[in-house]
Structure 1
Amino acid sequence: MPAQDIRHTDHRILVSAPAETLYRLVADVGGWPHLFTPTVHAERVDGDDRRERIRIWAFANGEVRTWTSLRELDPAARRVEFRQEVSQAPVASMTGNWTMNPAADGRTEVVLGHSFAAVGDSAPDLAWIDRAVDRNSRSELACLQEIAERHPGLDELLLSFEDTVLVRGPRAEAYEFIRRCELWPERLPHVARLELTEPADGIQQMVMDTRAPDGTTHTTESVRVCLPDRIVYKQTVLPPVMAAHTGAWTFEETAEGVAATSHHTVVLRAEAVPALLGPDATLEQARAAVRAALGANSRTTLEHARALVESGEGPKTGPGSGPGR
């Protein structure tokens, strides 16, 4: 049997930041969605800070793909090795590593290496994977450089918060209200238009026009992953003041009812704050304004979900829909 055609690539970048800072950013896979442009959602499935299994949803050549990887983390060597455990066609296998090497001039050289093969050794599929790896690697290294070089001020730019509404009704119906976002223009006062496509089971891509209190509208685009216990999302077209916006809708059953919660994580663009709030505006004011605007829309959505579910006229689940989808 002929040997499988395995392609090897390395991508490199010099970053004006300590190797330890870069290692921590790469090691924290849960932070990848608001760090790396291609990553929609990433999470640790099991393991610890030395060996872990992770699952990732990310863009590859414009398509949202998902895979499961095993990672070995070595903080002393500032190195992370990975191997895809469950790949998605056309990828047959994928391994690689991140290394952070201090350079002589005080900067750090970050090397992202990949070794991969295509299903059936298909030349067109191997070329497709090569393009995806090249595009994503260049994007991820550029994002890593941008975040790391402004890392001392990152805490001021990063904003995370949540809002919860208690729904006294079936959890599945609260979930369905959020999943059936194509109905939001009929159900929510702040949604003027929403276009939904579902390129794969559990993957939603949406274009939404949101109406502000002053009557103006702005357009955002998002990708959502509908998991059995929650719906996670990433905005891919953002308002100018945001560099990244990710979030989740979760539904926890309690003794009093279902705690439906909207979670947000935002990275602000400091340079865009004056245009939003005026030339003398501070980052703290921008954080408060973004928190108020996003929180108001989330609470409105959750309150409308609560009212519909508790009225007994909430969305019904059926085969192929709902939390078990």
Structure 2
Amino acid sequence: MAAGHTESSVVIEAPMDLVWGMTNDVASWPDLFTEYASVQILDRDGDTVRFRLTMHPDEEGIQRSWVSERTTDVRTRTVRAHRIETGPFAYMNIFWEYRTLPSGGVEMRWVQDFHVRDELPYGDPEMAEHLLKNTKVQMSAIKERIERVARTEAAPAG
């Protein structure tokens, strides 16, 4: 079985605790990502959360939704996630990695490993292209929103 793979990263000029906290607060993702209309937390077990994501309707008015599960590891600053309801994918796994930079900013990296269902009219290369394009948009939005909070928190009270 062929497989698709993408890697993307962004540098967020904010403290690690803020970046980690905001990006791992799944319940707030509709305020962090531009593509999600809602999230429903289905279950929590330690560092693992199972949730349903619902996207804003696409240009054809279709609103996609699926269940995912993610497990955070604060010690290694990594997250492993996978879709439970896979939709167009035979499987979809996402690895998130956070690294503090000498500048004080944080590099957030996403690695997506997947395979599109064989019966679909497009394949892994087309999906990889779509995911990379969308990831760039979402990482930019996340960066802007977290950096805005970081500036607000760093502003002197007055």
CA shift at 1:122, angstroms?
5.1
In the alignment, which of 11, 15, 20 is matched to residue 23 of structure 1?
20
* Partner amino acid, structure 2, of 1:83: H
What is the CA distance between 1:11 and its match in structure 2?
0.5
Within the alignment, does 1:47 sit opposite 2:31 as a pair? Answer: no
Q: Secondary structure at the match of 1:86?
A: coil
Counterpart of 2:67 in structure 1 is 68
SS at match of 2:63: strand
Give the unaligned 5+ runs of structure 1.
156-325
Q: Displacement of 1:136 after TM fit?
A: 2.5
CA distance in 2 between counterparts of 1:123 and 1:44 reads 32
Q: Which runs of 5+ in 2 are unaligned?
A: 154-158
Deviation for aligned residue 1:86? 1.1
Query: Percent identity over the alignment?
Result: 22
Asked whether the 8 Å contact 1:61–1:131 carries over to 2, the reply is: no
Aligned residues of 2:41 and 2:50 also touching (Cα < 8 A)? yes
Could you report, residue by residue, the CA deviation over 1:220-271 in whole angstroms, capped at 9, with x for unpaired residues? xxxxxxxxxxxxxxxxxxxxxxxxxxxxxxxxxxxxxxxxxxxxxxxxxxxx
* Amino acid across the alignment from 1:45: L
Partner of 1:6: 3
Kept in 2, the 8 Å contact 1:91–1:129? The answer is no
Cα distance in structure 1, aligned partners of 2:58 and 2:126: 8
Give the secondary-structure state (helix, strand or coil) at the position aligned to 1:93: strand
Partner of residue 140 from structure 1, selected from 120, 125, 138? 138
Q: CA RMSD in A?
A: 2.3
* TM-score normalized by the length of structure 2: 0.84
**Matched residue type, 2:108:** V
Decide whether aligned partners of structure 1 residues 137 and 65 sit closer, same or farther in structure 2, where only a CA change above 3 A counts: same
> Deviations 1:178-208 (Å, cap 9, x if unpaired)?
xxxxxxxxxxxxxxxxxxxxxxxxxxxxxxx
Alignment partner of 1:120: what SS?
A: coil
The one-letter code sitting in structure 2 at the alignment partner of 1:43 is Q
Contact 2:79–2:95 (CA<8 Å) still a contact in 1? yes
In the TM superposition, residue 103 of structure 1 has moved relative to its aligned partner by: 1.2
